[in-house]
Structure 1
Amino acid sequence: MSLNNIEDLGNTLVVNIPDSKTRVSRTFTVITETYIDLYRKYLALRPAHDNHQRLGIKYTSNKCTIQPFGINIFGNMPTDIARFLKLSNSELYTGHCFRRTSASLLADSDANLCTIKRHGGWKSSNVAEGYLEDSLENKKRIV
């Protein structure tokens, strides 16, 4: 991912993920003001002398450096977060947690099956149906 993959339209961020494990480009939008503000704060922390466009850069000693990080560091973030939170079995939190969480949040936001399938890039409905069935919001509506 690079900064060029994110377009700031003021009240919307358009994020293009150019390639993935499935070899399918994906685009999504961020419309929540809190998250847009966090992205802008992150951009403001980047060093002025940064000579690359990589999105992920190392943060250490309360400042951003120019050293980029890639997929392996990103994939280990859930484990690092779980360790920081002192959760048991922190090694079980993998990069896949981001995908599961995004699908769960989408299901909780009342998204339909087609939307969840498109978001996750699933051809089969089985996986997407599981997120709908496990959705806390759906369970509240059923009761």
Structure 2
Amino acid sequence: MDSINTISKAIILPEKSGHKYKKSYDSFMTWKSENNITSYSEDVLLKYYENLDSKFKPTTLWTEYSKLKSCLMFYNQIDISKYKKLTEFLKRKSNGFEAKKAKIFTKDQLEKFIIEASDQFFLHIKVAVIFGIMGACRRQELYNLKAKDVIDSHNTLTVRIVNCNTNQIDRKFTISGPYYDICKKYMDLRPRAAKINNCFFLRYFDGRCHGQKVGINKFGAMGTVVAKELKLSNPELYTGHCFKRTSVDLRKSWPPLSESCTNTLKTENDSLTGKLRVSFAKENI
């Protein structure tokens, strides 16, 4: 028991996503209350995840397990990592399951959208596409981008991305040529009352910018909007990850993208997660 107490004291819920952990914990506690259950036994946890199995994909089940494991250790000093039947259940559910990866765009598709799509309805999305591809940006990074981080040098934009991951540094990239003109057109439509430290991306419709921040879910859906406008198959597979994945794929074959980075872009295969990770080396000054 002393060892569990020691471990629980060492558990710290993530600062940024702690509310998501608490939500998973609250859902479990509500389920227990509704079913008049007081125990935290392995059979109880197994029954709970059997109930979740009808609602979530195997990958989501593992995510929920990880969050609940941390919370139960933090709040109740209960270590469910020792529940072998539960982990075996989750492993069985994962067998044969293949997660759908975000699809990526070709350079011809992107150029077609940027050139042909109507500025009256899609100008802000064009700018998000340009920033997302040139800077290999996550939707969170586009959402967090401030106006003060976009420097206009009259024919070139220098964009500073404050990295949302603590283990990576900030990075910069530049935008010039016709892409600069498109971004400049959007920037000139920003309300004059917008302060310099306000968010960069403001709501846009019918050819006008409005003084309200674009929501993070809007960024996540922009890939799908672009795919629908291009009449591509399965547009729902162009998720919030597609800009970053497209950037990595196109970097060597699309000169404007290669020339835009003032930092050295490196890609490596993370042996722990098997996922592509993008990291930027420090800018040489």
TM, length-normalised to structure 2: 0.37
**Residue in structure 2 matched with residue 135 of structure 1 by the alignment:** none
Of 193, 196, 201, 1:49 maps to 193
> Quick check: 1:12–1:31 contact (8 Å CA) kept in 2?
yes
Residue 31 of structure 1: CA displacement? 4.3
Residue 63 of structure 1: CA displacement? 1.2
Of 13, 25, 36, 2:180 maps to 36
The letter of the residue matching 1:15 is V
Is the aligned partner of 1:5 residue 2:149? yes
- Which structure has the larger Rg over C-alpha atoms? 2
> Quick check: 1:107–1:116 contact (8 Å CA) kept in 2?
no
TM, length-normalised to structure 1: 0.69
> Quick check: 2:163–2:171 contact (8 Å CA) kept in 1?
no
Of 108, 113, 131, 2:253 maps to 108
Runs of 4+ in 1 over 4 A off after TM superposition: 122-128
What per-residue deviation string (whole Å, max 9, x for no partner) do you get for residues 19-69 of structure 1? 234652332322431122222111111122335611111111221111111
**Residue in structure 2 matched with residue 98 of structure 1 by the alignment:** 243
* Structure with more relative contact order (C-alpha pairs < 8 Å, separation 6 or more): 2
Is the aligned partner of 1:27 residue 2:171? yes
Secondary structure of the 2:220 match is helix
Equivalence map 1:102-141=2 (5 Å): 102-109=247-254, 115-117=264-266, 122=268, 124=270, 127=276
**Residue in structure 1 matched with residue 220 of structure 2 by the alignment:** 75
Residue 123 of structure 1: CA displacement? 6.8
More displaced stretch, 90-99 vs 46-55: 46-55
Separation in structure 2 between the aligned mates of residue 101 and residue 107 of structure 1, nearest angstrom: 11
Separation in structure 1 between the aligned mates of residue 169 and residue 210 of structure 2, nearest angstrom: 29
The letter of the residue matching 2:154 is G
Residue 124 of structure 1: CA displacement? 4.8
Separation in structure 1 between the aligned mates of residue 204 and residue 178 of structure 2, nearest angstrom: 21
RMSD: 3.0
- Residue correspondences, number: 123
Q: Give identity over the alignment, percent.
A: 38
Residue 104 of structure 1: CA displacement? 2.1
> Quick check: 1:75–1:94 contact (8 Å CA) kept in 2?
yes
**Residue in structure 2 matched with residue 14 of structure 1 by the alignment:** 158
- Structure 1, unpaired ranges of 5+: 129-143
What per-residue deviation string (whole Å, max 9, x for no partner) do you get for residues 69-98 of structure 1? 133211210012212333221110012111
> Quick check: 1:2–1:54 contact (8 Å CA) kept in 2?
yes
Separation in structure 1 between the aligned mates of residue 213 and residue 151 of structure 2, nearest angstrom: 20
**Residue in structure 1 matched with residue 121 of structure 2 by the alignment:** none
> Quick check: 2:161–2:170 contact (8 Å CA) kept in 1?
yes
- Structure 2, unpaired ranges of 5+: 1-144, 259-263, 278-285
Secondary structure of the 2:204 match is strand
